[in-house]
Structure 1
Amino acid sequence: MRKLGTTAAAVLLAGAGLVGTAGTAGATTGHMDKGASAEACSTAWGSGVKSATDTASKPLRNITTSSNTCYDRMVFDVKGVSGKIGYHVGYVPAFHQDGSGEQIPVKGGAILEIFVSAPSYDPATSKPTYSGKAAQPLPGVKITGYKTFKDTKFGASFEGQTQVGLGVRAKLPFRVLQSGDKLIVDVAHTW
């Protein structure tokens, strides 16, 4: 969580233009949205760091992906959270495991590093709630047929947050949204 605290302060000083907005996602997860036209595809999200502090934390339960006419989507399911889910999302030149610092290879033209304020285990029992393994692809997530997503790697669950590396085609605009107990990262197909 130390990264979220310092990053949140830096983002507040830098201005609201870098902060992702929380709210209801415009498209549903799990299927292709055929209703959006090419003209409606926003590229105004920018590619700068987006960050928010959490107000309530629960364990991560699942990570899924889907595609839309304008973007590819990754969804972090944090069942039972009743407030804002904290996050820090930004492009990095190389993906290093939180805690150990070991480099984890991620395929694609750019790497989006995602920290979610949700451990992959139950803090009370230390039992896993999400079965990600360091340096391995995300369980149950197949990255085939996507325009933007090229690879996924689990980084770590360290100090109350989960780290994921998302390989994308290029350094493209992205946004971060919250819909109920789900944190959503959308990466645009184009600029």
Structure 2
Amino acid sequence: MINYLKLNYFYYLYFLMNLMLLLIMFIPSNLYKFHPLILNLILILYTIFLTFKLNFFFNLYWYSYILFLEMGGGLMILFMYFTKLTNNQLFFFNKNYYYYMIMKFFFLIILLFLYMNNFNFFKEILYQYMYELKNFSIYLLKNNFIIKNLMMDYVMNMNLYMIIYLFFTMICSVLICMKFFTPLRQIYKMN
């Protein structure tokens, strides 16, 4: 009975984490009207929830810790660039945008009800995923891969995501510098 309660608790916690990640992803749909600092804040929230999710799934906390440090460092660089570009720009929201956000959240609530109606199906999929993940963790423990590579967990999807994210951040910063034909950090000469 206790294992069943723990399993249900796990499923609901996993569901809430996915719901928060979905809510954060639904916010910036029309990017041209958003202030860059709000987009940076959304990326920070998404990174925090993603690291919580990784901590929840893996017993290795190194991987999520390194992910948070790398993403946080990249976001601080983006924050510096965006504050240089948008010094005193005000936030403007029109009424149509609020209607649009309400429609998006209603759509998300409908998806939530569909998810809850088919929860047993999703529970089976999640259980199979967790079973494979536990088998993989046991395999790593038996072969002492964890002792050899404390910093590296063999999940290629997340490694590729981090590589693409850092590459995209580098390209964006170079394009911002090339747009004005000057470096973003100006050196002022004192006379």
TM-score by length of 2: 0.23
TM-score by length of 1: 0.23
Structure number with greater CO (CA < 8 Å, separation at least 6) is 1
Q: Which structure's CA Rg is the greater one?
A: 2
Higher strand proportion? 1
